[in-house]
Amino acid sequence: MYQVSCEEEVHIEKYHQRLSSNKGSLIEHVLLCIKIHISGRSGVMLFDPGYHVSQPITVMEDGLELQTGIIYGSTTRPEVTRLYNYHYMARNSSFIVWDVEEKRNGITKSKSTSVIQHNKPFLSATDIAERRNLIYAFKTLLGRDAKGILKCGLYFPVRETSKVSLTLFHHANGVLHNKKVALSYFLSNYQKDDSIEEAIANIAAGTGRTGENLRSSLVTLAHLLEDPKFVMEVTNLDKEIELISKNEL
């Protein structure tokens, strides 16, 4: 079993050209991989736990039996579904293509493609994927069950505290609760709102933390993002990384 890199949301042709000419790429995601050979046929098993897919994903080079097929991913909204399909890249079997299709109320809203390089181990996942994600300007904290179904979480764009609205969601008694809260709510001596406190307690429980611990992280976050210079530096860096990886800088 070894680590493999994944570059998300790419244009396949441009991505392949860029790699062939040794230009930069983001490889912002890491998965685990096992190579398999069955009666002369090759394939891989991919493991991506904690991210979008909790089950092992089997991809055969010929696309035949053992192939996992379409996987229905969990989303934060009941009307939105995401379908994942994995197959070998037709022009270069060193890569697995991961097609993502998002549907809203059954109608296709967007399609994207990510690429996993399985022929070589990802030697510096911490240095590359981890560091890139530190700067990523959209943050999420998600709780999933053993099947990968999203149970609770929060997400927000990185901006100055006064401009950040945090989305909180959790399930209680089978009902999905969504709540938006201004990040400034967590600045000193905040007036407690019961529904927000309940959501935070639920999200903490679903992500293996205590309410106290999660609240303290949010207070730290609210203080951290009050610094306009810091926010500017992070968001500019994020934009520059995007441009470099698109080969436009």
Q: Lay out the site mask for ligand NAG across 60-99 (x = CB under 6 A, - = otherwise).
A: --------------------------------x-x-----
CA distance 172 to 169: 10
Minimum Å distance from CB 19 to ligand NAG? 4
- Is 217 near ligand NAG (CB under 6 A)? no
Q: Which is nearer to ligand NAG, 27 or 158 (CB)?
A: 27
In the complex, which residue's CB is closest to ligand NAG? 92
Q: Which of 150, 153, 148 is nearest to 49 (CA)?
A: 148
Residue 90: Cβ within 10 Å count: 9
Q: Indicate the length of the chain as a whole number.
A: 249
Decide: helix, strand or coil at residue 146: coil
Distance of CA 25 to the CA centre of its chain: 17
For the record, the structure tokens of 111 come out as: 């399609």
Residues 15-34 that bind ligand NAG (CB under 6 A): 19-20
Minimum Å distance from CB 6 to ligand NAG? 14
The residue behind tokens 């903490």 is 204
Q: Which is nearer to ligand NAG, 14 or 180 (CB)?
A: 14
Q: Which is nearer to ligand NAG, 25 or 74 (CB)?
A: 25
Residue 246: Cβ within 10 Å count: 14
- In the chain, the amino acid numbered 175 is V
Sign of the dihedral defined by the CA atoms of residues 122, 124, 127, 128, in that order:
negative
Q: Which is nearer to ligand NAG, 20 or 188 (CB)?
A: 20
Minimum Å distance from CB 68 to ligand NAG? 23
Residues 172-211 that bind ligand NAG (CB under 6 A): none
Q: Which is nearer to ligand NAG, 18 or 170 (CB)?
A: 18
Minimum Å distance from CB 116 to ligand NAG? 12
Q: Which is nearer to ligand NAG, 20 or 189 (CB)?
A: 20
Residue 67: Cβ within 10 Å count: 16
DSSP 8-state code for residue 130: I
Residues at the contact surface with ligand NAG, assessed by CB under 6 A: 19-20, 92, 94
